[in-house]
Amino acid sequence: MKFMTRLFGTDGVRGLANETLTVNLALRLGQAAAEVLTRENRTSKRRPTAVVGRDPRVSGEMLAAALAAGMASRGVDVLRVGVLPTPAVAYLTDDYGADMGVMISASHNPMPDNGIKFFAAGGHKLADEVEDEIESYMNSMVDQGPTGHGVGRVIEEAPDAQERYLGHLGQAVKADLSGIKVVVDCANGAASEVAPLAYAAAGAEVVAIHNEPNAYNINEDCGSTHIEQIQKAVVKHGADIGLSHDGDADRCLAVDAEGNVVDGDQIMAILAIAMKDNNSLRKNTLVATVMSNLGLMLAMKEAGIEVKTTKVGDRYVLEELRNSDLALGGEQSGHIVIPDYGTTGDGTLTGLALMARMAETKLSLKILAEAMKVLPQKLINVPVTDKTIIMGDPRVLAAIEAAEDELGETGRVLLRASGTEEIFRVMVEAADADTAVRIAGQLAAVVAAV
């Protein structure tokens, strides 16, 4: 089985379960990853170990079995931790001292999809070159593995996995949330048990919705991709805050008591100011992506906080956080990373930190979110025949220059190619919505004509 295009995407391997993401593929991925990720830690006296978790979707059961079989066939002991959020699996990979971790989830994607993402020792996401090495090994791999005592064991249940993760969250955010009423939309996903438990353990009054996964209803008209559900629920229950997670709970979006959305950029603004006030925002610097709203940049400038920007994707945020030894980063979508307490985005940790700031300041989420004014943003996806030539076309460059001259410091223009499709994304921010829509439409027309 050789792959003509790169198997790994921006966040692991994803596809339609049992069609493109098959049991056979999962088996071979498990074998190849076991060989590559544990190679340096194999000794005659020590067998390497792997942690495997999943979200509740039905295909996760068979894929977890196939991955575990593949890794065990290459001499790795496998600890299956069951249904837990992605950040929990990353944390447990480190906490158990495992050589590698695997999360089986397609995050916010519909139930028929699934995905496989690997973590190296310490719970860190893999670099591109390591993923390429795994893929290369798959293309040349022989079937023969160890025999006898060399075959790995599969431990079907880790009884303390959830308890360890909840203990970690409690240590990371030590706050008394008594008096705060929170509604949490668990997306019928991986956080359906742990998120309500974590918030209640901190003292909050918790109303949980969409917290009854049945293997088929993950992300179905709920969670962070259907924010209207938490908006309605917060108003209905008279809550102080609503928190909405995705299927694997590595992201968090919020709404205030009136049902107004507080997105990832606003959450970052709130937490960055809080951490600066508490002297924990190293180098007074926040990491965001180029898609973050200009309002975040302006708010941080006013607060005396520098912003470093990366390409779109939480993996690039993580790289910058690690390389520059910084303490906070994230994306508009709600992936918020606090590297002192996690190696990936953690929606439940984000929710705890947000409520801790409310408790500390005695301010409502609406008032806290006013630290940042969200500028109107218009995004147009333009189908093109060759996305590689767009930014070299003089008509496009002239149109961008004209748009930037008109906007000045009151707006922003961003054009970028899709990573997976022949689409060019045109994004414009401006002081008012009409201007953003007009200029985005003008730029999109120029791009479409190339």
Chosen domain end from 351, 369, 387: 369
Helix or strand holding residue 256 (H, E) = strand 252-256
Report if residue 166 sits inside a domain.
no
Annotated binding site for Mg(2+): 107, 246, 248, 250
| In the predicted structure, residue 4 carries a pLDDT above the cut 50 | no
Same domain, 218 and 364: yes
Q: What CATH number does residue 422 fall under?
A: 3.30.310.50
What integer best gives the mean pLDDT of the chain?
Answer: 94
CA distances from 24 to 125, 157, 202 (A): 23, 23, 43
Annotated binding site: 107, 246, 248, 250
- Do 193 and 206 contact (CB within 8 A), yes or no? no
CA distances from 275 to 49, 164, 353 (A): 36, 25, 10
- Do 272 and 285 contact (CB within 8 A), yes or no? no
Confidence band, pLDDT 50/70/90 cuts, at residue 74: very high
- Do 90 and 101 contact (CB within 8 A), yes or no? yes
Placement of tokens 């309500």 in the chain = 196
- Do 187 and 220 contact (CB within 8 A), yes or no? no
The mean-pLDDT minimum among 325-334, 372-381, 418-427 falls in 418-427
- Would the pTM count as exceeding 0.95? no
| In the predicted structure, residue 43 carries a pLDDT above the cut 70 | no
CA angle 133, 139, 140 (to 5 degrees): 95
Same domain, 28 and 51: yes
Report if residue 7 sits inside a domain.
no
* Residue 149 phi, psi dihedral angles, 5° rounding: -70, -10
Smallest CA-to-CA distance from 91 within 340, 422, 447 is with 340
Confidence band, pLDDT 50/70/90 cuts, at residue 86: very high
Active site residues: 107
- Do 335 and 317 contact (CB within 8 A), yes or no? yes
Structural domain boundaries enclosing 334: 175-369
CA distance 96 to 91: 9
- Encoding tokens for residue 264? 């990832």
Report if residue 165 sits inside a domain.
no
What is the DSSP code (8-state) at residue 17?
B
Quick: pLDDT tens for 146-180: 999 999 999 988 999 999 999 999 999 999 999 99
| In the predicted structure, residue 183 carries a pLDDT above the cut 60 | yes
Same domain, 199 and 305: yes
CA distance 92 to 127: 20
| In the predicted structure, residue 1 carries a pLDDT above the cut 60 | no
Burial grade of 275 (CB within 10 A; 0-12, 13-18, 19 or more): buried
Number of domains in the chain: 3
CA angle 404, 447, 317 (to 5 degrees): 65
Which residues on neighbouring strands pair with residue 80, listed in sequence order?
Answer: 52
What share of the chain has pLDDT > 70, as a percent?
98
| In the predicted structure, residue 66 carries a pLDDT above the cut 90 | yes
- Encoding tokens for residue 166? 């909840």
CA distance 102 to 395: 46
Q: What CATH number does residue 67 fall under?
A: 3.40.120.10
The mean-pLDDT minimum among 10-19, 115-124, 223-232 falls in 10-19
Write down the pLDDT at residue 46: 80
- Encoding tokens for residue 77? 């002991």
- The arithmetic mean of pLDDT across residues 108-134, rounded, is 95
Chosen domain end from 324, 348, 369: 369
Quick: pLDDT tens for 193-202: 999 999 999 9
- The arithmetic mean of pLDDT across residues 274-278, rounded, is 97
- The arithmetic mean of pLDDT across residues 374-395, rounded, is 93
Write down the pLDDT at residue 420: 64
Report if residue 227 sits inside a domain.
yes
What is the DSSP code (8-state) at residue 380?
E
- The arithmetic mean of pLDDT across residues 347-373, rounded, is 98
Same domain, 119 and 204: no
Write down the pLDDT at residue 418: 81
- The arithmetic mean of pLDDT across residues 337-348, rounded, is 96
- Encoding tokens for residue 53? 């978790």
Chosen domain end from 107, 127, 160: 160
